[in-house]
Structure 1
Amino acid sequence: MHAKSKLAIFNKRYRRQILATLTEHIMTFAHAAGLGWLSPTLNILQSPASPLDFPITTEDASWIGSTFGLGFIAGNVFFGLTLDRLGRKLNIYILAFPHMIFWILNYLVQSVEYLYVGRFCAGLASAGIFLVVPVYISEITDKDIRGALTAMAMMFFSTGLLCGYILATYLDYYLIPCIIIVLPIIYLVGNLFLPETPQCLLKHGREKEAELSFNFYKNIEPETNVECFATQPSVAISEFKELKAAIDLGGLSVPVTLKDFFNRSTLFNFFTAAILCLLNQLSGSFAIINYMANVFAASGSTIDPNVSAIVMGFVQILGSLSATVLVERFGRRPLLLSSAVGMMVGMYGFGAFVQFTDEETKAAYNWVPIIFMMLVVFTASYGVFGIFFTIVVEMHPAKIRVQALSICMLFNSILVFITLKLYPFFLFNLGITVTMYSCASVCVIAGIYLYIFLPETKGKSMEKD
């Protein structure tokens, strides 16, 4: 359909797709900054230097962490029900508001309940970011760059986490909400200039608007480019007709029924997606982000835990950038499987160092836990955490993709709540060694299954099964 090159991502055709992706990831960045802010902030709020007028206990801290999971569950139910009914764009607007409420409540905090509700709202926003945005991006982008642009989410996520770590460590508690709340406002203004996806418009029978949207995202404007008038319209018409035919033939404009979910292929995809969710959460890839400073404090390392967490933020950015660069070159499977192996090695090594060394050795080799955790964070960022959403979006049949993704994210959100609630218990009661060994064992078991059964989804059409 169009010329390919080694630098295809710089093709004029993709400019608006990239611009739209960058606009959506403003919220990804802002959300991640809120998650990164939590880890050092919890340590500060539990210390004598707390800026709040009330104490935060370990149990309070556990609930502050886990109420995010409850919000994530509620958000997946809400956005799963509204994504097709209200369309992608309206949901993209909606998800910004709970995030803004999160920062407003952090600023106005009068009791720990403010923090609970704020984290719940952060979970609501997170569900929208990880359910609505991947579907939107997958529908507006060409398959040649889809993997890179969906994986780009983790690069913004990692950068936001790092900014959150730094802001919480070095700036006043009440100043941070005033800075971050500007981002969702910019995000909302930017989205005013972006149309609904052509697939969503076609599903609702709005063919003329769908064609205009298609031309917008493919950067086709023949009326302003006389030289291309003879070639681009015919290409655009051909591609749009192909998209419309794929949606019609695939039954995407026909209501979804229970029969679409209960067949061997679909059930197998659901089971494989469930294993991916278990790996994504029970491996600790997300919980470690929330409790990074606590992990280093529990390791016995003499290096400042907050400084270690900031170092991990830089490592996470490198891992996410690697995913963006490598996902279209090597495919999804190799990155995911090598990531599971890297996390397993890093966590077994971290746990063994803590278990089998004395205090003198820990002090002399205080850099060893950082090296092992760098391996865990880097490999998680380019695979288990980094391309998880890319794979889950691509693996399901086109007709039920939105509903299937919603179900998977609902299951994943339940795991988020369980993990964030149990991780502090494992960390503080059972110890860092048991925590690391348990997470590493999940990588082993899930990795074996995925090595045998996970299909490669690189280059898969978003309209055809």
Structure 2
Amino acid sequence: MKLTSGALFEHTNCLLNRRNRYQFLATFLVNISTFAHGIGIGWMSPVMRQLQTPESPLSFGVFVEELSWIGSLLGIGSVIGNLLAGFLQDRIGRKPVMFALTVPYVCFWLLSYFAQSVQYLYLARLLAGITGGGGYIVFPIFISEISDANMCTIVIGAVQIVGTYTTTLICDQFGRKILLLISTLGAGICLAAFGCFTYFAKLYDLSALGWLPLVLLSLDVFLCNIGLVGVFFVVLVEVMPAKIRSVAVSTFVVILSCTVFVSLKIFPLCMQYWGISITLWSSSLVAFVSFVYFLLFLDETKGKSLLDS
């Protein structure tokens, strides 16, 4: 018996049947906002040093202390977004919260584009944090609720690029824990190696290895995406019992946002007072501690039903 392509796609076991296609489309649309948010806040890292030079794209000067606030206000905004989204999502629903997140995001872009002083950037980054913090609360829960339990992880990472796409291919095959272990250990090694390069570059001529920092940084980004970015929020949703999932996820994301605030606040200061080498080694130490923690205490959630209590 022959099956037409249409009949094949409508088969209940087909990944691309109508129900699953709607789930993929909804997840894709939700994650567009995550992608746009990343573009919006990602300009800070590459231009941080340039903002303190005459080549700055801004019409006003920015000092190190101000840079630390520009970076860290994202974390404060994230806490605000976490709390607001966590409070509202069970009262007015997930979709209204996601629609509401467009307001601070649009204001963030307008303030960034028309910035006339550093205070514009302060407010812009705060609003960007509110958008991101709210999204981190409501997006994973929304996606988990519209997706089948056995395909939730595949869908969540479907529109992430390169590293996270790799996660979608191997997450259900090898499990979540191994990806987090590879991610944290690999990131720690890359950051430690990068720190060594910057240290010895001050003592010796390493121009022949000028390609190495880019390779290490690219590898670090890739390894972070296959675990810490692509899997972390999936695991966070899966380890929480269904009856407390919304509150528990909101609580832990608030803690995460506070950590982001501290990290972004002290990073420019660490760069100025410690130098890049010690800052990178300190970051690698955090990654190694995370590796040990995941190794000893994280339970594998592969195959766990999202309906488990």
Q: TM-score, normalised by structure 2?
A: 0.91
The structure number with the bigger radius of gyration is 1
Query: Partners in 2 of 1:39 and 1:441 — Cα distance?
Result: 21
**Aligned residue in 2 for 1:343:** 187
Runs of 4+ displaced beyond 6 Å: none
* CA RMSD between the two structures: 1.8
1:38 positional shift: 2.5
Query: Partners in 2 of 1:57 and 1:318 — Cα distance?
Result: 35
Of the three residues 32, 38, 41, the one matched with 2:44 is 38
Work out whether 1:112 is the aligned partner of 2:123. no
> Structure 2: which 5+ residue stretches go unaligned?
1-10
**Aligned residue in 1 for 2:217:** 373
Work out whether 1:361 is the aligned partner of 2:205. yes
1:357 positional shift: 4.3
- SS across alignment from 1:361: coil
Query: Partners in 1 of 2:53 and 2:299 — Cα distance?
Result: 48
Identity %: 39
* Residues 430 and 358 of structure 1, relative CA distance in 2, 3 Å threshold: closer
> Structure 1: which 5+ residue stretches go unaligned?
156-316
**Aligned residue in 1 for 2:77:** 71
Preserved CA contact (<8 Å) 1:9 1:145: no
- SS across alignment from 2:73: helix
* Structure 2 letter corresponding to 1:412: L
1:404 positional shift: 0.2
* Structure 1 letter corresponding to 2:129: G
**Aligned residue in 2 for 1:461:** 305
**Aligned residue in 1 for 2:4:** none
**Aligned residue in 2 for 1:285:** none
Work out whether 1:383 is the aligned partner of 2:227. yes
Work out whether 1:141 is the aligned partner of 2:147. yes
Preserved CA contact (<8 Å) 1:323 1:386: yes
Q: What per-residue deviation string (whole Å, max 9, x for no partner) do you get for residues 420-440 of structure 1?
A: 011112222211221122122
1:361 positional shift: 2.8
Preserved CA contact (<8 Å) 1:318 1:378: yes
**Aligned residue in 1 for 2:19:** 13
**Aligned residue in 2 for 1:24:** 30
1:44 positional shift: 4.3
Of the three residues 431, 437, 445, the one matched with 2:289 is 445
Of the three residues 84, 88, 107, the one matched with 1:82 is 88
**Aligned residue in 2 for 1:248:** none
**Aligned residue in 2 for 1:50:** 56
Q: What per-residue deviation string (whole Å, max 9, x for no partner) do you get for residues 226-272 of structure 1?
A: xxxxxxxxxxxxxxxxxxxxxxxxxxxxxxxxxxxxxxxxxxxxxxx
Query: Partners in 2 of 1:439 and 1:53 — Cα distance?
Result: 33
Preserved CA contact (<8 Å) 2:64 2:269: no
Q: TM-score, normalised by structure 1?
A: 0.61
Query: Partners in 2 of 1:388 and 1:65 — Cα distance?
Result: 22
